[in-house]
Amino acid sequence: MKTLLVTALREWSYFFRDRAAVLLLVAASLFYAFYYPLPYLHQIPRESPVGVVDRDNSNLSRQLIRYTDATEQIAVYEYYPDIQSAAKAMAGGKIFGILEIPADFERDIRRGGSTAVGLYGNAGFFMVYSAIGKGLSLAAGTISAGIKIMRLEAEGYSEKEAMVIRDAMPVSIQTLYNGSEGYGNYVVPAVLMVILQQTLVIGIGILGGARADRRLSVRNSKPKKPEPLYVRWIGRGLAYLIHYGLFFAFYYFIVYSVFGFPARAQILPLVFFVFAFVSASIQMGFFFAQFFKHRESSMQIFLYCSIPFLFVSGFSWPLTSIPEGLHILFWIVPTTHAIPAWLSVQQMGASLQEIAKPIIHLGILAIAYGSLGYLMQLWKERKYLSSSGTDRRK
Amino acid sequence: MTAFLNVMRFTFLRREPVLWLLLVILPVLVSLFAVTLFNSRTPLHLPVGIVMQDESPLVRRILQNLESSPVIRVARVCPDISECESAMRDGDLLGVIQIPPDLERRALRGEAPVVPVYLSGQSLVAYNMLFKEIQAILGTISAFLDRRNLPEPVSVQIHAVNNPAMDYQMYLGLGLVAAIFHLAAMVVAVFLAAEPLREHNADRLLAAANGNYRVAIFARLVPALVFLWLLSLFFITWVHSRAGIRLAPPDFAFLAAGMFMMLAACMAGGMAWVAISGSMRIACSAAGVLGGPSFAFSGITFPLEAMPLVVQIFAKCLPLTHFLELQTVLMFGSAGRFAVTEPLAVLSGMTLFWLLAGTAWLGKRLHDTHFHGGHPEEDFA
């Protein structure tokens, strides 16, 4: 046990002595924790600029424009004489949408008819497009409801009756877990998991990636008689586990509170999750580090993988719409299981039972990567010892 | 010319698996991933649960309408809300519709019973789809209850410009492909520029280039640039054809020019970071810091205008932001052509800046004897 702890502490001290490791295992994890959430500091886009083409220019059309401008999603940016000039402004990026009010808008309504206003939104920016659609629907719906109730009252219904006729079965949609619909709350927790896994796997690759100076290897061990491989393996893993356990605490207590992300985790599922996820990532790192000839190769290769690792987890694009083949292919990546589990634990306050499945999957990954990596290392060490023995005999 | 070919031959016709991984295999695989991920174009079969506290014909109708929607899949019928809520927390459900007791009777009595719907805001794409779909389905049934069938006085017709089918492959797939090549260009440039320094065989590289450091640098970077450019155009054209988009020839030419300039700016940047740092590892870290999250900063998923000013300035320093701006503008067809010059000019300026900053400096490093005298098997000529 003592040897194990000594090995872990010795390995941990390497993190701070090797400049490249300090950069990745300490600085990068700290830096990224503040760097990624920055764009989403304001959480939701407000007051998106919209152009107006008012062909009616009546009291009612001006009222609709005022209501639209009053919504938090939309700011009326400019009036345009025709749709072409407004489209040009949208192509130039000045506005994200065009509200077109038809001619005779007020006259048609006063005659008891109905009319439609047009919204042309730039769907190249889905988030703004959705927000503008919601804002205008709200403004038009408010005006429409008022007119409908007035018409029913004119037919002799009471206000209460008119309201029931207008909407006989109202729907009340409640948003759970991210009540503000904030973009930061949605993206950042998932990205943080990818950051942790990537810095860990790349960091392990950098510290142990070069075949010539891999410290796990017997040929570079400082003591004359190195500790058995299992002691070095577990001790080294322990160093990373402690290091990244501290990072989780840092993310949970500092980053989450700085950016105001919801933190609803219960202690027991949180501890199990951290242990399973970090262990799986460490063993994945140990396994892949065996293949790199140069220290920076792990960084170059895993840099490409961040996008697939993030998107395949289903946090953004729903799991039901991801092709089955990709699910199977990425099953071997810890974040595929860790991101949904982390969102369940941290954002939704899930119990241990509710996240049992991903925890088991992470455990399987840790054991599988650990066994493969260990056997590979064992084989290499035996090969090295037998070849050095042959050399000595010669 | 001979020197150029000589450097090219010994750069690309060597056994260097990492280079081929970075230049060919990973960009192809990750781009394939980005294209196939959004195969369904829009989110489908999103799992929702129903808490059934009434089993009247009205509720059966609601259930039928929900099940006939391609967006929704009724994955679970729960006896109470807590079971469905637990299924939401473990990720099995994205929403719950609670049918209150005596819904039909109360609705026909004119009591306007409220139907509560709980949606998980943790997945915004699914949330927005479910929000619209459930509101439309329940709104239609609510309107059916109004026997007078009064039309809405003011309705909104929403037209999606630039992506009429609301296709996520067009929206995210295209952007991600560009982001992948943005990163690839940086990483490959770092590798190609720094490898002679790492292997201490810059002297042999210079010998192959007849002592001309410009030839040594450009003969390594230009073929990779052209290859990445052609590959990226292949993927972009592929996504366009899947989405049924046909750009007019001048628009495609602008897009191709923009992609070339973006990749050139990234490669020049990568080369300059190697020149400044003299280390593959540090230059690679710079590529990771700048190229890794560039899509998040590009303004496609979250508008630039809503980001803090310092982030907006940083985003404007990334070539990807300008290329995606160009790509968006070109989707407007002839209406957007007037706006292509600015992003093209900015990308050209970036390329020029990094080339000026990096080439001579890297040349100095190649001449530095510290980077000479490596192993003969790593020879260039």
- Does B119 contact A176 at a Cβ distance shorter than 8 Å? yes
Find chain B residues with C-beta within 8 A of A265's C-beta.
Answer: none
Cα–Cα distance between B66 and B59 in angstroms, integer? Answer: 10
Helix count and strand count (H, E) for chain A? 16, 5
Kindly report the CATH number assigned to the domain that includes residue A143: 3.40.1710.10
In-domain check, residue A362: yes
- Does B158 contact A340 at a Cβ distance shorter than 8 Å? no
Work out the average pLDDT over A254-271. Answer: 89
Question: Are B320 and B262 in contact, with CB atoms under 8 Å apart?
Answer: yes
Distance from CA of B337 to the nearest CA of A (A): 9
The whole-number pLDDT of residue A209 equals 45
Cα–Cα distance between A97 and A139 in angstroms, integer? Answer: 15
Residues A114 and A260 in one domain: no
Question: Are B35 and B169 in contact, with CB atoms under 8 Å apart?
Answer: yes
Residue B378 reports pLDDT greater than 50: no
Find chain B residues with C-beta within 8 A of A147's C-beta.
Answer: 153-154
Return the CATH class of domain B46-145.
alpha beta
Other CB atoms within 10 Å distance of the CB of residue A271: 14
Complete DSSP assignment for A333-388: SHHHHHHHHHIIIIIT---TGGGHHHHHHHHHHHHHHHHHHHHHHHHHHHHHHHHH
The whole-number pLDDT of residue A292 equals 85
Residue B304 reports pLDDT greater than 70: yes
Cα–Cα distance between A74 and A77 in angstroms, integer? Answer: 9
Cα–Cα distance between A109 and B104 in angstroms, integer? Answer: 32
In-domain check, residue A175: no
Work out the average pLDDT over A188-200. Answer: 92
pLDDT of B121-164, one tens digit each?
888 888 988 998 998 898 888 877 776 667 788 888 888 887 77
pLDDT of B57-106, one tens digit each?
889 999 999 999 999 999 999 988 999 999 999 889 999 999 999 888 88
Q: Please, which pLDDT band fits residue B180 given cuts at 50, 70 and 90?
A: very high
The total number of structural domains that make up chain A: 2
Domain boundary residue among A140, A166, A192? Answer: A166
Using CA coordinates, name the residue in chain A closest to B20.
A301
The whole-number pLDDT of residue A193 equals 93
Give contacts of A 163-222 with B, CB under 8 A: 163-181, 183, 185-187, 191, 206
Residues A125 and A148 in one domain: yes
Higher pLDDT among residues B41 and B36, named by residue: B36
Using CA coordinates, name the residue in chain A closest to B45.
A320
Helix (H, G, I), strand (E, B) or coil at B51: strand
- What does residue A87 show for φ and ψ, rounded to 5 degrees? -65, -35
Higher pLDDT among residues A223 and A329, named by residue: A329
pLDDT of B201-222, one tens digit each?
888 889 888 889 999 999 999 9
pLDDT of A52-64, one tens digit each?
999 999 999 999 9
Residue B42 reports pLDDT greater than 50: yes
Residue listed under structure tokens 């007078």:
B148
Residue listed under structure tokens 């991903």:
A358
Residue B333's identity, in one-letter code, is G
Displacement of CA A263 from its chain's centroid (Å)? 15
In-domain check, residue A64: yes
Take residue B113 and report the two structure tokens written for it: 């019973």
Give the β-pairing of A74-79 and B115-120: unpaired
The whole-number pLDDT of residue A225 equals 64
Residues A290 and A375 in one domain: yes
In-domain check, residue A177: no
- Across chain A, mean pLDDT equals 86
The whole-number pLDDT of residue A76 equals 93
Domain boundary residue among A166, A200, A234? Answer: A166
Residues A354 and A314 in one domain: yes
Q: What is the pTM of this model?
A: 0.88
For residue A175, list its beta bridge partners: B119
Domain boundary residue among A166, A197, A219? Answer: A166
Residue B379 reports pLDDT greater than 50: no
The whole-number pLDDT of residue B147 equals 62
- Does B332 contact A64 at a Cβ distance shorter than 8 Å? no
Cα–Cα distance between A68 and A61 in angstroms, integer? Answer: 11
In-domain check, residue A207: yes
Residue A212 reports pLDDT greater than 60: no
Question: Are A172 and A114 in contact, with CB atoms under 8 Å apart?
Answer: no
Give contacts of A 115-144 with B, CB under 8 A: 115-130, 133, 136-137, 140-141, 143-144
Q: Pick from A185, A321, A329, A361 the residue to mutate for testing the B interface (most B CBs within 10 Å).
A: A321
The whole-number pLDDT of residue A216 equals 46
Q: Please, which pLDDT band fits residue A293 given cuts at 50, 70 and 90?
A: confident
Residues A69 and A199 in one domain: no
In-domain check, residue A176: no
Residues A65 and A103 in one domain: yes
Cα–Cα distance between A201 and A283 in angstroms, integer? Answer: 9
Residues A148 and A259 in one domain: no
| Cβ neighbours for A270, distance < 8 A, ≥ 6 positions apart | A252, A345, A346
Helix (H, G, I), strand (E, B) or coil at A221: coil
Residues A221 and A156 in one domain: no
Output A331-336 pairs: Cβ under 8 A, ≥24 positions apart: A331/A361, A332/A365, A332/A368, A333/A197, A333/A284, A333/A309, A334/A197, A334/A277, A334/A280, A334/A281, A334/A284, A334/A362, A334/A365, A335/A193, A335/A194, A335/A197, A335/A309, A335/A310, A336/A309, A336/A312
Residues A356 and A234 in one domain: yes
| Cβ neighbours for A200, distance < 8 A, ≥ 6 positions apart | A25, A240, A244, A278, A281, A282, A285
Work out the average pLDDT over A257-284. Answer: 92
- Does B155 contact A116 at a Cβ distance shorter than 8 Å? yes
Q: Give the burial string for A209-237 (b: 16+ CB within 10 Å, else e).
A: bbeeebbbbbeeeeeeebbebeebbbbbb
The whole-number pLDDT of residue A390 equals 59
pLDDT of A152-170, one tens digit each?
888 888 888 888 777 778 8
Q: How far is CA A254 from CA A184, A275, B23, B307, in A?
A: 16, 20, 39, 22
Listed by start position, the domains of chain B span: 2-38+165-378, 46-145
Residue A26 reports pLDDT greater than 80: yes
First-to-last C-alpha distance (Å) of chain B:
15
Cα–Cα distance between B331 and B362 in angstroms, integer? Answer: 39
List the domain range (segments joined by +) for residue A9. Answer: 2-40+183-393
Residues A284 and A218 in one domain: yes
Question: Are B72 and A320 in contact, with CB atoms under 8 Å apart?
Answer: no
Work out the average pLDDT over B305-329. Answer: 92
Report the largest interatomic distance among the alpha carbons of chain A, rounded to a whole angstrom.
111
Residues A152 and A209 in one domain: no
Find chain A residues with C-beta within 8 A of B180's C-beta.
Answer: 304, 307
Work out the average pLDDT over A342-348. Answer: 91
Find chain B residues with C-beta within 8 A of A41's C-beta.
Answer: 307-308, 311
pLDDT of B246-292, one tens digit each?
888 989 999 999 999 999 999 999 999 999 999 888 899 888 888 88
A48: left (phi over 0), alpha (psi -120 to 50) or beta: beta
Give the ipTM: 0.88
For residue A121, list its beta bridge partners: A97, B160
Higher pLDDT among residues A214 and A30, named by residue: A30
Find chain B residues with C-beta within 8 A of A346's C-beta.
Answer: none
Using CA coordinates, name the residue in chain A closest to B37.
A322
Q: What is the DSSP letter of B75?
A: E
Cα–Cα distance between B223 and B217 in angstroms, integer? Answer: 11
Tell me whether A48 touches chain B (CB under 8 Å): yes
